[in-house]
Amino acid sequence: MKTLLRLLLTFVSVNDCYSQTLNEFVDNAKEKAYVSDYRGAIEEYTKLLNKFPDNTVTFFYRGILKGYLNDYSGAIDDYNKAIENDTTNSDYYFLRGRAKYKLQNYSGAIKDFDKTLELERENADANYFRGNSRSSLKDYKNAISDYTEAISIRSDHVEAYANRGWAKANLKDWKGALEDCNIAIKYDSLYINSYYYRGCFYSELKKYPEAIADFATAIRMDSESESEYWLNGTLNNNLKPLQTAAKKYSNAIIKKTSYDSVYCKIGILNACLLNYKGAIAYYDKAVSISPKNSQAYYRRGLAEVSMKKYKVALADFSKAIELKPRYESAYKNRAFVKSTTNDLSGAIEDCTKAIEINPNNPEYYLMRGELKVKSNEIVGGCDDIKKFKLLGGEYSGKKSSLPCN
């Protein structure tokens, strides 16, 4: 994202064959993009295009900004226009491919990455994202080839090593998968996915203490992201021995510390192994040490939801919000609990609050839209679902359950 922002901010002012007005629009857009006012920057580029409709690069930059707002369909429209005017710019195809990837149009993304590489053979990221697209289609063999090519162009491409490891693991090449994650960690010891991946590989190889150590490292590095939840279902075949190893690990850690943050992270570790009862016990300890630990209440609420203890979960999410008023994930999950207990109006209010905090998350619009439809607010519900799609969401619900297209 930083690279794209730098690209936006280096938009070159035009020469005398265009009016000063054009440069003013460009400068205004750059200023707004610099302070992350992407909607404002889009408005400036739109004004510019109204006056100079053949300014190809403006479509390109507006497409980038739409991508920042998760409006991938809108971004693709702009990239299409840029490509109509200039079929030789590899960046146009590359970013259109990334937008298609975000919309899960993997086959379309691959075609754009193919074109990117036709125009610019030594493009490591085009190979990398083509590999991701192929991996998403379970074409692991060709994905590995793409990641390998990306690495040959840029030897320190950490994400390519990690994702090549994941692709190898899907082909049961555990040795190669571990080697790739080890290399990724060598180049960047802060890249969290490498630890989650390697933990999964260790689990498959029945090296449970090593797996737990990697999961714990990832959680310790970023306990706010909830990235560990993608593990749900991945470890089912080895849950019991992993839970045993986690208990030993947890007991060893808590003997050395009395910090609430440590108990919270151990709780997260147990939750990602589906040991919700054990996780709640650690969150209880964290709260007893620090009654103002909003994350401990929030995480305890998540574990309680998993155990269908909705009443206590509601109280915990509410406490987390009291301590941290802009806790968007807590609003989202409290909305879920309220909807489960038939408090639809309260659930809609919580979704609205989450949207106020982060208006670019499509999930919140989908959730609110479905709740409105359930409350017979058909028009408002369908408007929210349209917004969800506009922001790049892929609706997977049963079409028959909603009166919206």
Residues with Cβ within 8 Å of 305's Cβ and at least 6 positions away in sequence, in order, are: 313, 333, 336, 337
Query: Could you tell me if 273 and 282 are in contact, meaning their C-beta atoms sit under 8 angstroms apart?
Result: no
Domain boundaries, the chain: 1-86, 208-325
Classify burial at 14, counting beta carbons within 10 Å of its beta carbon; exposed 0-12, middle 13-18, buried 19 or more.
middle
- Closest to 63 measured CA to CA, from 26, 87, 91: 91
Mean model confidence pLDDT for the chain: 89
Q: Is the pLDDT of residue 160 over 90?
A: yes
Which one has a higher pLDDT value, 72 or 145? 145
402 versus 129: the higher-pLDDT residue is: 129
Quick check: 17 pLDDT over 60?
A: no
What pLDDT sits at residue 70? Answer: 85
DSSP H or E segment with residue 170: helix 158-170
pTM: 0.80
% of the chain residues with pLDDT over 70: 91
pLDDT at 15 over 50: no
Distance CA(275)–CA(244), nearest Å, equals 10
Alpha carbon distance 330, 368 (integer Å): 15
Q: And the tokens for 197? A: 């991946």
Q: Is the pLDDT of residue 9 over 90?
A: no
Residue 400 has pLDDT above 60, yes or no: no
* The domain over range 208-325 is classified in CATH as 1.25.40.10: yes
- What tokens were used for 160? 């390519």
Do residues 213 and 194 lie in contact, with contact meaning Cβ atoms separated by under 8 Å?
no
Tell me what pLDDT residue 402 has: 66
> 399 pLDDT exceeds 90?
no
pLDDT exceeds 60 at position 208: yes
> Could you read off the pLDDT of 283-339 as tens digits, one per residue?
999 999 999 999 999 999 999 999 999 999 999 999 999 999 999 999 999 999 999
pLDDT tens per residue across span 82-135: 999 999 999 999 999 999 999 889 999 999 999 999 999 999 999 999 999 999
Name the CATH topology of 1-86: 1.25.40
